[in-house]
Amino acid sequence: MSGWPGGRFGLVRGLILGDAKRHPLSLLLTVLGVTLGVAVVVGVDTAVDACTRGFAASVRSIVGDTSHRIEPASGTMADEAFAELRLAMPDLLATPVIDRRVRILPLEGAPEGEPTRLGRIIGLDVLSAADVAADQGIEEALEDASFQSFIAEPGAVVMVKPLAERVGAEVGTRLRVDMGDAVRSVHVVSIIELEPPARSTVTDLMVADIATAQELFSMPGHLDRVDIAPRDDAELEAVRGVLPVGVSVRTLDDAAGAIEELIGAYRLNLLALSFMASFVAVFIVYNATLIGAERRSGTLGTLRCVGMRSVGIAGVFVIEAAVIGLIGAAVGVFAGLWLASGLVELVSATIGDLYTRVNPVEVSLSPVSAAKAAVVGLVSALAGAAAPTVLASRTPPMSAFRATERADRSWAWSMVLALAAVGCLALAWVFVVWPQGSIVGAFAVAGFTATGFALVALPATKVASALASVLAGGHRSGRALPPLLAARGVGRSIGVTGVAVAATALAMAMNIGLLTMVGSFRHAVLTWLDGRYQSDLYIAPALALEHRVPATLSPELIAAVEAHPDVAGPVMPYRHVNIELGGLPALLTATDLRRTLDGGLLQLVDGDTRSALDALDGEPPGAATPVYISQPLAVKLGFRPGDTISLPAPEEPFPAFVAGVYTDFVADRGTVLIDRTVFRAVWHDDGLNAAHVSLEPHARGEGAAARFADVWGAEFPVVVHDHADIRSETKRIFDRTFRITDVLAWLAGLVALFGLGGAVLALAASRTRELATLSALGMSRGQLLARSATEAALLGLTAWVLALIAGSALAWILADVIQYRSFGWSFPLRPAPVSWGVALAFVVAAAVVGGLAPSLLVRKDTLVRGLGDE
C-alpha cells in the first residue's frame, strides 16, 4: 500500500490504517471471526477431499493403464466370463482381479495387545497384469527371482514396503491373515516399493497370483472383476457385445467417483454446517464495519463536507472489508489445514462406518480449496460490510450517523426487518411443503429460517431493550442507573447490538438444534436397536467388526453353532450384498423373513406383514416374492407398499413386490430385505455376513458372549457379542459420526462469541467519552462494570430466548426436512435441556466478557482523554 499515490488513495489508506492502529483489538476479533469461518469451510472441504481422493487413488493407482472395469451386478462373477472374453478378444488388455481387505494378525511372539492391521490383497493374472499394470513397479517385482515361488507356492504374496514395515514382515515371513471366514497363512516372497504417486497412497497392499487369491478367499472359479484397457471406443463396444448377462462395464472414473455419489448427502450436510460459521462471520464483519463507520462518523462527515464523494467513502469500507476478508482467508487457509488434519480421521471413520472403507491421502491444499477460501473470506467480509457501507456513503454530510436520526429510524427499520423476517419464514415454509422437496430445498428451508430469525433479532432486541428500560426506569430511587443505561444503550445502538444478538442467537440456535436433533436421533436409534436385536448372541467376522470391511462367516462355523447343545434352533442368518437400485447404491439383505416378521423385528412405517406371509406360504399360488424396503431407500426412490421392483440378480433382473417400508438406521443408502430361501436360489450365494443366535434358557445370562467367544473364536476369526455389546458399539459409532457435527457447532459458537465480545468491546470503545463523563460524575468502577455486564447479559438473554425458539425450529428442520431428505431417516424429536444450559453458558460468557470490557478499556488516563473534545 505504500506505493499508492499520496492523493486520494493516501487519504483512504490513512482512514483505514489510522483506525486499525487505534482499535487493534476490534480489528483482531473481526479478522478472527472471518478466519474461523474460512478455516471451518476449508477444514471440512479438505478433510472430505482427502478421503475421496484416497478412495480414488486406491482405485486408480493399482491398475496402471486400465480404464474400465467389468463387474457383476452383485457378488462375484464366474471366471468363465474372463475366459470367454479372452477367447473372443485375444488382443484386449485385460486381467482378472480379486480385490479384498484382510486382517493381518500380529506375528508370533508379538507383545500382548499388539493390534491387528488392515491389509488389502489383490489377486491378478500375472502374465496379463504385466501388460496392464506395467507402470507400478509390480512388473519388476514379478520378474524378480521370487517369480517362481510367487506362481507356484501356496499363499505367496508380494508386499508393499510400508505394510511390511507396519507388520514387521521381511522376505520369507509367514503371516496369519484373517480372510473374513477363516485365518490362513501367507508367505511374503518379495517386498516392493511402488512408483509415485502410488508409493504414498497405496500403503496396505499385497499382490497375489489370481489362483492364490481364489484359494485364499475360498472362491475357486470366481472373480471380483476384470480390469481392461480398451484401445478405442470400438474395442469397448466389442467388449460390451461379448459380456455375459449380469455383468457390466464401468469406467474407472465412475468407480473412483462412486464415492462422491455415495457420500454426496453426507458431504453436503457437512459443508452446509461448515458454512454456518461463515454465515455468523458475516454478521461480525457487519458489526465491525458499522462500528468503524460510527467511530469515524465525524471524520467522514467532515470529508463529505469538503467534497469527498459518497463513492469515495464507500471505497474506504469496501477496501477495508476486502483486506479483512483476504487476511482472514489467508490465515484461515492455514488454520483450515490444521483443522482438516484433525477432522480427516473423524470423517474417514464416519465414511467407513456409514458407506465404505477409505484410506485418506495426506491433507493438502488444492488450488480449488485456496480459491474457495479466498471467495468465502472475501464474500463474507464484503457481504457483512455492504449495508453499513451504503448507509455511510449515502447519509448527507452534516447528519452522518447522528444518533437521533439513527434512534428515530431504528423503530421504522425494526418494523421493516420484522416484516422481512416473516417473509423469510414464509418462504421457508413454502420450501417445506413444496411437493418434490430436494436436499437443496431442505437447505433452503434452513437458510431462510436462519435468515428469518437473524432478521427478527433486531426488532426483538429493540423490544427487549424497551422492556428492560421500563423495568429499570421504574425504580423510583434511581438505584437502577447502570441497568437503565444498559437497556437504553442497547436500544440506541440497535444496528450493532441487534446484529450481535443475531449472530449469537444463530450460533446458539445451531447448537440447540444440533444437540436436540442428535439426541433425538440417538434415542430413536437405540429404541430401534432394542426392537431389532432380540437374540441372545450376535456372531460376525472380526474383519467386519474391527475394520468395517464386508466379510463372510465360515459355513463350518454356522454348522458348529447350530450343533451346540446350548443353542436353541437354527441361527437367524444375514447376508448383505451390494446392489444398484434405481441408479442408487443399496444393500440387499437376505434373512429368514418369516421369523423376522413373526418375531416383530421390523418397525413398519408403511405396509403390513400379512401380504408377505401369505406370499411366503405361496398364497395365491405363483405370488411374486415379497421384499421390505428400508425407509431411506423408500424415501429416495419413492417406493410404496404394493409397488413392483426389479432386483439385479446374476442371470436376469428379478421382480419382487414391496410388502412394506420399515425403519432402519443401518445405512443411509438403504436396504432391501428379501427371504434367504429365494436369495439362495436366485443369487446362488450361501454366504452369511452375520448370524443371530438364540440360546437355551439355562445358557443365557451375563458372560454368555465371552463363553461362546472362547468356544468359537478359538477356531474361527469371529467376534461374539451380546445385546449390551451391540448397544455400546452402536453408541460408539453414533457418537463418532456426530462428533464432527459437535466440533462444527462449537466452532460456530466460538465465532459468535468473538462477535459478541467484539461488539461489546467496540460499543465500550465507542463510548469512551460517555464512560469518562460518568466516571467524572462519580460512577464507581463497580457501577460501570454492572452497566456493561447488564448490557451484555441483556444481549445474551435476548439471544438466548431467540435461540431457544430458532433452535427448536432448526432441530425440526434438521430432523424432519434435512435428515429425511438427505438420508431418508425420520424420528420423533425430544427436547434437549442440556443444549439450553450450554446456550445459557454462552450468555454468561458473553456477560463476563462484556463486564470486563470497560476495565480493559478504562485505563488510568482514559478519564482525562475521554473528557477531551478531540
Partner 1 sequence: MTTDPTDAPGADVVLESVSRTFGRGDAAVHALRDVSVSFAPGSSTAVWGPSGSGKSTLLHVVGAVDVPTSGRVVVGGRDLAAMTATERTVFRRREVGFVFQAFHLVPSLTVFENAATPFMLDGLLDAERREMVGDLLDRVGLGDKLAKYPDQLSGGQRQRVAIARAVVREPAVVLADEPTGNLDERSGREILELLAPHRARSPMTLLVATHSPDVRDWCDAVVSVRDGCVAPEDDRREPPSFAETLAEAAR
Alpha carbons 574 and 180: distance in angstroms, whole number: 15
Measured from the CB atom, is 299 or 310 closer to partner 1? 299
Distance of CA 362 to the CA centre of its chain: 18
List the one residue out of 38, 595, 716 whose CA is nearest residue 335. Answer: 38
86, 199, 409, 492: residue in contact with partner 1 (rule CB under 8 A): 492
H or E element, residue 251: strand 247-251
CB of 4 to partner 1, least distance (A): 29
Candidates 115-123, 363-371, 477-485, 737-745; binding stretch for partner 1 (CB under 8 A): 477-485
Assess contact for 537 and 724: CB atoms under 8 A.
Answer: no
State the minimum distance, in angstroms, from the CB of residue 497 to partner 1. Answer: 12
Site string for partner 1, 420-459 (x = CB under 8 A): ----------------------------------------
Q: Of 481, 529, 604, 605, which one interacts with partner 1 (CB under 8 A)?
A: 481
- DSSP per residue over 592-658, as a string? -HHHHHHTT---EEEE-SHHHHHHHTTSSTTPPEEEEEEHHHHHHHT--TT-EEEE--SSS-EEEEE
Indicate the residue among 170 and 405 with the shorter CB distance to partner 1: 405
Does position 610 bind partner 1 by CB under 8 A? no
640 binds partner 1 per the rule CB under 8 A: no
Return the SS3 of 194: coil
Quickly list DSSP for 445-465. Answer: HHHHHHHHHHHHHHHHHHHHH
- Which residue number, 261 or 770, has a Cβ lying nearer to partner 1? 770
Among 109, 433, 477, 859, binds partner 1 (CB under 8 A): 477
| Closest distance to partner 1 from the beta carbon of 476 (Å) | 7
> 394 or 475, CB closer to partner 1?
475
Among 488, 575, 669, 692, binds partner 1 (CB under 8 A): 488
Region 125-184 residues binding partner 1, contact defined as CB under 8 A:
none
- If the CB atoms of residues 403 and 844 are measured against partner 1, the closer one turns out to be 403
Reduce the DSSP state of residue 385 to 3 states and report it. Answer: helix
Is residue 464 at the binding interface for partner 1, with CB under 8 A as the rule? no
Other Cβ atoms less than 10 A from the Cβ of 535: the count is 20
Cα(610)–Cα(156) distance, integer angstroms:
54
- Residue 481 beta carbon to partner 1: minimum distance, rounded to whole angstroms: 4
Kind of pairing, strands 584-591 and 671-675?
Answer: parallel
Instruction: Give the residue with the Cβ less far from partner 1, 403 or 470.
Output: 403
Closest CA to 846 of 803, 813, 800: 800
- Given a contact cutoff of 8 angstroms between Cβ atoms, the answer to whether 553 and 541 are in contact is yes
- Residue 854 interacting with partner 1 (CB under 8 A): no
* Residue 651 Cα distances to 75, 244, 246, 765, angstroms: 12, 9, 5, 77
Per CB under 8 A, 765 contacts partner 1: no
666, 334, 709, 363: which is closest to 532 by C-alpha? 666
**Residue 302 in the binding site for partner 1 (CB under 8 A):** no
* Residues 770-799 as x/- pattern, contact with partner 1 by CB under 8 A: x-xxxxxxxxxx-x----------------
Shortest distance, position 762 Cβ to partner 1, whole Å: 16
Query: Which residues contact residue 321 at a Cβ distance below 8 angstroms, ignoring those fewer than 6 apart?
Result: 285, 289, 381, 382, 384, 385, 389
479 binds partner 1 per the rule CB under 8 A: yes
Binding residues with partner 1: total (CB under 8 A)? 33
Q: Least distance (Å) from partner 1 to the CB of residue 486?
A: 9
404 lines the binding site for partner 1 (CB under 8 A) = yes
Region near partner 1 per CB under 8 A, out of 478-486, 711-719, 723-731, 753-761:
478-486
Q: Determine how β-strand 604-607 pairs with β-strand 222-223.
A: unpaired
Nearer to partner 1, 422 or 776 (CB): 776
**Distance between CA atoms of residues 548 and 565, nearest Å:** 31
| Contact range with partner 1 by CB under 8 A, out of 144-152, 352-360, 542-550, 769-777 | 769-777
- Per the document, the length of the chain is 870
Q: How far is CA 682 from the centre of its chain?
A: 37
Build a one-symbol-per-residue string for 717-736: x at contacts with partner 1 by CB under 8 A, - elsewhere: --------------------
Binding of partner 1 by 859 (CB under 8 A): no
- For partner 1, give the closer residue by CB, 72 or 866: 866
Could you tell me the smallest distance in angstroms from the CB atom of residue 843 to partner 1? 22
Q: Which residues does 378 contact at the CB level (< 8 Å), separation at least 6? A: 322, 325, 326, 329
Residue 496, C-alpha cell as written in the block: 450493532
Residue 246 phi/psi, 5-degree rounding, is 90, -5
Q: How many CA atoms lie within 13 A of 830 on its CB side?
A: 11
Task: Confirm or reject binding of residue 399 to partner 1 (CB under 8 A).
Answer: no
Binder among 337, 484, 597, 691 for partner 1 (CB under 8 A):
484
At 419 the three-state DSSP class reads helix
**Please, which residue, 402 or 523, has the CB nearer to partner 1?**
402
Nearest-approach distance from CB 853 to partner 1, in angstroms: 17
Instruction: Classify burial at 87, counting beta carbons within 10 Å of its beta carbon; exposed 0-12, middle 13-18, buried 19 or more.
Output: exposed
CB of residue 467 to partner 1, shortest distance in Å: 16
For residues 389 and 493, which CB has a smaller minimum distance to partner 1 in the complex?
493
Compute the least distance from the CB of residue 498 to partner 1, in Å: 16
| Torsion on CA atoms 567, 572, 577, 583, rounded to nearest 10 | -160
For residue 292, the minimal CB distance to partner 1 (Å) is 19
Name which of 501 and 602 has its Cβ closer to partner 1.
501
Give contact residues for partner 1 (rule: CB under 8 A): 402-404, 407, 476-479, 481, 484-485, 488-489, 491-492, 769-770, 772-781, 783, 861, 863-864, 867, 869
